[in-house]
């Protein structure tokens, strides 16, 4: 868990490092880009992007995210398989605040969640992802430890 004003989605993707090895489902989207091309991509119920396309989009413009769920899937998992399950969501999801923390989508490897414009949560099956964020950002907190306080 990191306060949103301390880091951006782009920064998190750079720390994770292997974003382009996955396809990304973006859901529960509320954000405010000024670039019309980005608006067109994100102004949908969901967005499915290859990792390189996600990185390019994030590099094109820094803009405010209020809500959003970014779920990473191995490239061999097709969108049709992913859409057989409910969309991950941020607004109203209570599971972030209860231990044990789990990914919302059963086929996802990692999830980055923008929560109410104030926090960014990162949940992953790969402990090195969470560890890299904690090591590279002094403002990051372990969400399970936070929930126990």
% of the chain residues with pLDDT over 90: 65
Query: pLDDT digit string (tens) for 34-86?
Result: 999 999 999 999 999 999 999 999 999 999 999 999 999 999 999 999 999 99
Q: Which residue has the higher pLDDT, 115 or 78?
A: 78
Tokens of 58: 């994030």
Tokens of 127: 């402990």
Q: What is the DSSP letter of 87?
A: P
Summarize the confidence of residues 4-12 as an average pLDDT: 78
pLDDT of 108 over the 90 cut: yes
Residue with tokens 């499915």: 48
pLDDT grade for 139, boundaries at 50, 70 and 90: confident
| CA atoms of 46 and 61, how far apart (whole Å) | 19
pLDDT of 10 over the 70 cut: yes
Q: Which residue has the higher pLDDT, 1 or 29?
A: 29
Phi, psi (degrees; rounded to nearest 5) at 40: -60, -40
Q: What pLDDT, on a 0 to 100 scale, did the predictor assign at position 134? A: 84
> Domain extents for the chain?
2-148
Single pTM value for the model: 0.92
């Amino acid at each position: 868990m990191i306060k949103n004003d301390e880091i951006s989605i782009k920064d998190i993707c750079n720390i994770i490092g292997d974003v382009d090895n996955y396809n990304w489902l973006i859901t529960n989207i509320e954000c405010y880009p000024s670039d019309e091309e980005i608006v067109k991509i994100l102004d949908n119920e969901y967005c499915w992007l290859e990792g390189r396309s996600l990185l390019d989009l994030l590099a094109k413009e820094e803009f405010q995210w209020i809500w959003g769920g970014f779920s990473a899937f191995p490239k061999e998992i097709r969108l049709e398989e992913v859409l057989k399950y409910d969309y991950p969501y941020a607004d109203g999801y209570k599971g972030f605040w209860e231990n044990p923390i789990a990914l919302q989508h059963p086929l996802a490897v990692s999830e980055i969640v923008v929560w109410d414009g104030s926090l960014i949560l990162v949940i992953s099956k790969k402990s090195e992802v969470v560890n890299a964020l904690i090591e590279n950002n002094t403002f990051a907190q372990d969400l399970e430890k936070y929930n126990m306080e």
